[in-house]
Amino acid sequence: MHEAYVRLIGDSQPDYRNRAHFLHIAARIMRRILIDHARIHKAEKRGGGQLTCALGDWMEPPIESSPAVIAVDDSLQTLERIHPDKAKLIEMRFFGGMTAEESAEVLGVPVERVRAELRIAQAWLRRDLDHRK
């Protein structure tokens, strides 16, 4: 995770508003690192392979499968165009490990709304990933 640290601090000391803001930025950077790594790994293989990934496989622990990481990122990019806040919640939860309370603090919304929106976003991603198989 040295790469994440370097991207977080850059050439200067960033001005993070609070711990939740830091975690949000860290989640975005971790997403980029994982996607970059997955795309490089996929490019090294011939044929790419077939995606076999259920949403439940990636919502809790980090995933290792390059095609699955890329599929999640592709779905997230689609979700970002349709519902940017829902995509941000998935990113904070999956890539940053942020709690609903931390996400609510970053977004300035009630925690109940975060939980409800996250459930909707997870269902949307589950359906989108199923259609990508």
Write the single-letter amino acid at 14: P
User: What's the whole-model pTM score?
Assistant: 0.61
pLDDT in tens, 116-133: 999 999 999 999 999 877
Please classify residue 21 by burial: count the beta carbons closer than 10 Å to its beta carbon, then call 0-12 exposed, 13-18 middle and 19+ buried: middle
User: Beta-carbon neighbour count of residue 35 at 10 Å?
Assistant: 19
pLDDT grade for 31, boundaries at 50, 70 and 90: confident
pLDDT in tens, 58-88: 444 444 566 777 888 889 999 999 999 999 9
> Following DSSP, what letter does each residue of 48-64 receive, concatenated?
-------HHHHHSSPP-
**Residue spans per domain, the chain:** 2-132
41 close to 66: Cβ distance less than 8 angstroms: yes
